[in-house]
Structure 1
Amino acid sequence: KNMPALERQIRDTLHKTLQDMQRYNRGTPQTESEKLFFLTDLIKLFNQDICQTTRGEEQLFGDEVRLFTKIRKEFHTWGVILLECAAKAKKNVPSRVWKYEDQYRGREFPGFSNYRTFEDIIKEQIRELEEPAIEILNNVMRLVEDKFIDLSTKNFANFHNLGRAAKVKIEDIREKQAAEAERHIRAQFKMERIVYCQDDLYIGYLNTVKAENAPIVSAGRDLQFPAPKEPSTLHFPGIFYQFSILHFFSPIMQGASKRLCNQIPLIILSTVLHDFGENLQTSMLQLLQDKEKLNFLLDEDSEAAKTRNYLSQRVDRLTKACQYLREFSLL
């Protein structure tokens, strides 16, 4: 039963080793024109790997996990944070409104909350989500940076100067893209704190909330002015209180949550993954313009020969292992 799985594992390892061999078997050319073509080819292969990664189509070996899969897990965490914030708000908003009733209510009838108080509560809930969104951004940025550095290490393994040049470019672009993404995210939250919703959308959300709370309101019709759960100088129906306050709060937060649930991942994907990848590819091609650095960039690592020898021996061993398994399966 384990033979087919073992053979697949050996074949995968052999395939990966052969790919590594292709990089190490290519010795540095002698003429300037050949060196330029050689460097162009190296950068082209690296850029292809970057492009495939940003599209979520990179080659995987063994237990490797696709970058986009890791990013999606971070976005799932963001969705959970939004749900937890909504649950927390639903629990805490009543106490905030009770405080308004106790301290600030003037001529308003019971159940009518000052709009500014209502607006401030929503702004506070949105503000609490801003730093968690930045944390998700930083987590995704680390994943992307690590992946790009790993690709540069694999592609330029025996050209240490070229590898270092790629890493410097990755780090520089990372700083710019992280700052740009953070700026977009904070701008998004600044807009959310305006607290706005189109009338038809708000009415749609409101009708949904009304339908969900209809059984609760119906059940509360027979209740006559029970004492509130929080200390207050005014005693009015708790059911009516929840219906009137949470009723209008929920639609606004639903709209904001739906926007943030998609908008934050879109900002991150656009700036941290796609723009990062495109800018890195462009920046790598700029290395070809400085012909004076050809020899420097293509200075081969002293360990390259040892690595080539090691990989060659490994290919021989894996090839023999595959042949042995095929012969064994025929017995």
Structure 2
Amino acid sequence: MANLLYTEYEEKIRPYIDLIDSLREQGLNKDLTLPSIAVIGDQSSGKSSVLEMLSEIALPRGTGIVTRCPLELKMKNGTKGSQWKGQLNYRDVSLLLNSPQDVEEEIKKAQIHLAGKTGISSELISLQVESPCVPDLTLIDLPGIIRVPTGNQPQDIGNMIKNLIQSYIGKEETIILVVISCNVDIATTEALKMAQEVDPKGDRTLGVLTKPDLIDRDTEKDILKIINNQMVPLRKGYMLIKCRGQHDLITNTPLANALKKEIAFFNDNVHFRPLLEKKLASFQHLSSRLTNELVLQIKKCLPGIQEKIGSKMNEIMKQLDKLGGAIPEDTKTKVHNLTSRILAYCDELIHLAMGEYKKDYPIDVKLHDFAREKFTEWYKKLDGVKIGLNENAAIMVKHHEKNSKGRELPGFTKYRIFEAIIREQIQELLEPSLEMLNEFSARVETTCNTLALQHFGSYPLLVGEIQIKIAEVCNKMERKAEEMLETNFKMEAMVYAPDEMYSYKLMEFQSRGQQKGNSSMTNSSLDPQAMVIHLHAYYQIAIDRLVQMVPMVLRYYLLQELSAQIKITLAQLLFHYKDVDALLQENDETSEKRRDLKDNLDRLTQARNLLMNY
């Protein structure tokens, strides 16, 4: 029967424990969260004693905060008669341990190295133990929760510890093992409160009650209420254990004897004896329970782990694709490589100029969105000027009539006044149009440089050369656009509109004047009020031209022509630049990032291959 159970264990339990340990050894925990059991408890709850009884090794003891770094305790059940083996790892230190007695001192040294003499650190200390006396189990011991700092401890050490604990127990893959002393009020247990915050239904939480030998007589029923889930219910429930007492520690009672004394204690207690039969008490049953819980959690999480590995691999391959492959050795291939990169950049810039966006484009790169915003402002400005003209046209007419008379007889000045007012109003719009041109040109240049950094950011010299060329093309296109705007405004000074168009617009404004009851607006052109309606009619025609002409000039020169010119200019850069090797000199940061991404991808690939059999 024993051999049958052992065979079943080796076939159904051990492989899953080994799988997660292998994934950890490969460093997969750097990429995603692996199933684990995190051990938490208030200070002096007996947390360290629980771990000692499970692992049969002595952990640091003393007053105050004893566990000051997360301790990953990986236990592996060795073959019968095999020697005890231990290994301690932290940062770049890897230390083989020859005896269980060496563990406590080496962990103390590691904590001082990572956290100083009084602080705490989130850096992990990993202890691997192999022995015939330990279960196949991995636990993560976290610092005990304190409320008030003592001695030279940082004033915010309580919050620091809670934040550290939160970073572990907040993950859905983690089973929370809450250690609670029987001689305290469970309702005031900080560790249990923290577990409830991240696991309100208690699906991932297992409570372990310690120190049943220290409770007052006739309070055993209160402990049984907790065990029976009648106080603070947990889906995984509670278990009761008895660690080595103070006398056992002073006399250095071996752990094996302590385990026997624990069984005897429960058998002798009429209240707790049934818990042994239900497998809710003793380290023997706790060890088996934890192993089974961990395996169930592993099985539950495996599909999600495989999915996350696939997502991570896709993400890394995209990043590698952005970085490009390793720089080729021969010049011909380098030229081909650089040509492909430049063409890809230019194609993206052309699509951007056409308003064809990728899904992940940030808003500050979407030039057409910016253009639409600026052109709307331009339309509103023209509309505002038109309203101003409508309100002040009569005043302008009277002013010009008074100040523009020469030798001519009355009645001969009207068209010249009309023309002068129109020219003044149109020319006032030249400066705002040039300001918009400058702002738009600056935005286009910034966007071109942003894309250049995305495509060539790992090649500092190449980026510098491309940005120089971008600036040259932007300045050239801006000058052309400026010349075109100035030419158009000069043409607008001619004051022209087709007769039919002007007549139609004039009739439209006259009709509005009649509807408003302003009959003077339909009188002879000798009347100043009649001149006003002529100004309104023509200015509307001019506005209709300007509201389209200025945006079209900007779009043509600063989007369409600019993107085409950049493509030609960069092609010339490639063929006229003598030292292509220098252009493709990659910075150290990019080379290191590519290496890290490839290492990460290799790690994920190995993990995926391991998981294919499960």
**TM-score (normalizing by structure 1):** 0.79
- Between the aligned residues of both structures, percent identity stands at 23
Q: Determine helix, strand or coil for the equivalent of 2:458.
A: coil
Of structures 1 and 2, the larger Rg is shown by 2
> Which residue type is aligned with residue 504 of structure 2?
G
Please give the alpha-carbon distance, in whole angstroms, between the structure 2 residues aligned to 1:180 and 1:127: 19
Of 329, 345, 364, which aligns to 1:46? 345
Q: With CA pairs under 8 Å and 6+ residues apart, which has the higher RCO, 1 or 2?
A: 1
Please give the alpha-carbon distance, in whole angstroms, between the structure 1 residues aligned to 2:512 and 2:597: 65
Choose 299-308 or 174-183, whichever is displaced more.
299-308
Which whole-Å deviations, capped at 9, do the CAs of 1:239-273 have from their partners, x for residues lacking one?
A: x9564021111121011100000011111100111
Q: State the match for 1:150 in structure 2.
A: 450
Of 379, 385, 390, which aligns to 1:85? 385
Q: Is the 8 A contact 1:12 1:62 kept in 2?
A: no
Q: State the match for 1:114 in structure 2.
A: 414
Q: Determine helix, strand or coil for the equivalent of 1:58.
A: coil
Of 550, 558, 564, which aligns to 1:272? 558
State the Cα distance separating 1:17 from its structure 2 match: 6.5
The alpha-carbon distance between structure 1 residues 132 and 85, as it changes in their structure 2 partners (threshold 3 A), is same
Q: Determine helix, strand or coil for the equivalent of 1:292.
A: coil
Q: Determine helix, strand or coil for the equivalent of 1:303.
A: helix
Please give the alpha-carbon distance, in whole angstroms, between the structure 2 residues aligned to 1:133 and 1:15: 47
Of 472, 477, 492, which aligns to 1:177? 477
Q: Is the 8 A contact 1:74 1:139 kept in 2?
A: no
Q: State the match for 1:308 in structure 2.
A: 594
The answer on 1:137 being equivalent to 2:443 is no
Q: Is the 8 A contact 2:460 2:585 kept in 1?
A: yes
Of 346, 353, 371, which aligns to 1:71? 371
The alpha-carbon distance between structure 1 residues 182 and 97, as it changes in their structure 2 partners (threshold 3 A), is same
State the Cα distance separating 1:116 from its structure 2 match: 1.2
The alpha-carbon distance between structure 1 residues 19 and 188, as it changes in their structure 2 partners (threshold 3 A), is farther
User: Which has a greater percent of helix?
Assistant: 1
User: Which has a greater percent of strand?
Assistant: 2
Which whole-Å deviations, capped at 9, do the CAs of 1:18-61 have from their partners, x for residues lacking one?
A: 54421324111001111111111111111111111111113142
Q: Determine helix, strand or coil for the equivalent of 2:423.
A: helix
The alpha-carbon distance between structure 1 residues 165 and 209, as it changes in their structure 2 partners (threshold 3 A), is same
> Which residue type is aligned with residue 378 of structure 2?
W
The alpha-carbon distance between structure 1 residues 39 and 242, as it changes in their structure 2 partners (threshold 3 A), is same
Of 530, 548, 552, which aligns to 1:262? 548
Of 560, 564, 568, which aligns to 1:282? 568
Q: Is the 8 A contact 2:352 2:367 kept in 1?
A: yes
- What stretches of structure 2 of length at least 5 have no aligned partner? 1-309, 603-614
> Which residue type is aligned with residue 22 of structure 1?
D
Q: State the match for 2:462 in structure 1.
A: 162
- What stretches of structure 1 of length at least 5 have no aligned partner? 1-10, 222-236, 317-331
Aligned-residue RMSD, C-alpha: 3.0
Which whole-Å deviations, capped at 9, do the CAs of 1:107-161 have from their partners, x for residues lacking one?
A: 435xx75221111111000011000001111111112111111010000011111
Aligned residues: 289
> Which residue type is aligned with residue 54 of structure 1?
A
State the Cα distance separating 1:312 from its structure 2 match: 6.3
Please give the alpha-carbon distance, in whole angstroms, between the structure 2 residues aligned to 1:49 and 1:33: 25
